[in-house]
Amino acid sequence: DAGVIQSPRHEVTEMGQEVTLRCKPISGHNSLFWYRQTMMRGLELLIYFNNNVPIDDSGMPEDRFSAKMPNASFSTLKIQPSEPRDSAVYFCASSWTGQSTEAFFGQGTRLTVV
Amino acid sequence: SQQGEEDPQALSIQEGENATMNCSYKTSINNLQWYRQNSGRGLVHLILIRSNEREKHSGRLRVTLDTSKKSSSLLITASRAADTASYFCAPYGGSQGNLIFGKGTKLSVKP
């Protein structure tokens, strides 16, 4: 397996634009996580899916953020409209929520909103 | 869901020395995991210790778990410059399945 695949790797956009980040989890994994990392706030859990269902979205900052998981092999995180304070590295991770629960991370998407 | 608190926030040592990082958490767990993050990269799983285990080894890594004190430690022996990274713990409670990370320990190993 190629691991967790995120796209794009880098995104530069203007304030007010819509941004969509994509994630392909490892085949067979049933849990998917979206994280945001900044120097100030560290690594924040935004939302957690289990079997394609959002279980915990308490970390989603505000209504401008939305996440979907239409099937077991794809998830998106959308920001609309984007703001400069959304600039961060966004990570997607997946795991099998059994005995192991080891999470595998993608390489991240570095988002810059100007 | 719960978050681990790593201590110290930063640690600087010479190559060849041992590095010890600590993690505290608040509620009962199924297991506790340690991850490493190299600058600008995604986290990489290092080792998992279950709640019924007290110590676990993997190569130069040694992890201990004290459930009575709700704490864990990660020891890296004979450190190398390549061990320079941030280290995070993630206590896993199992009830919700999510993984929450603290601010991590930033380890710098000087050659």
Of B48, B97, B102, nearest to A102 by CB-CB distance is B48
Confidence of residue B95 (pLDDT cuts 50, 70, 90): low
pLDDT tens-place string over residues B32-55? 999 999 988 999 999 999 999 999
The answer to whether A74 contacts chain B (CB < 8 Å) is: no
Three-class secondary structure of residue A69 per DSSP? strand
Q: What is the mean pLDDT of chain B?
A: 93
From chain A, the residues in CB contact with B104 under 8 A are: 42-43
pLDDT tens-place string over residues A19-38? 999 999 999 999 999 999 99
Dihedral pair phi/psi, residue B12, rounded to 5°? -125, 125
Confidence of residue A10 (pLDDT cuts 50, 70, 90): very high
Q: In the prediction, which pLDDT does A97 show?
A: 78
Burial B80-99 (b: 16+ CB within 10 A, else e): eeebbbbbbbbbbbeeebbb
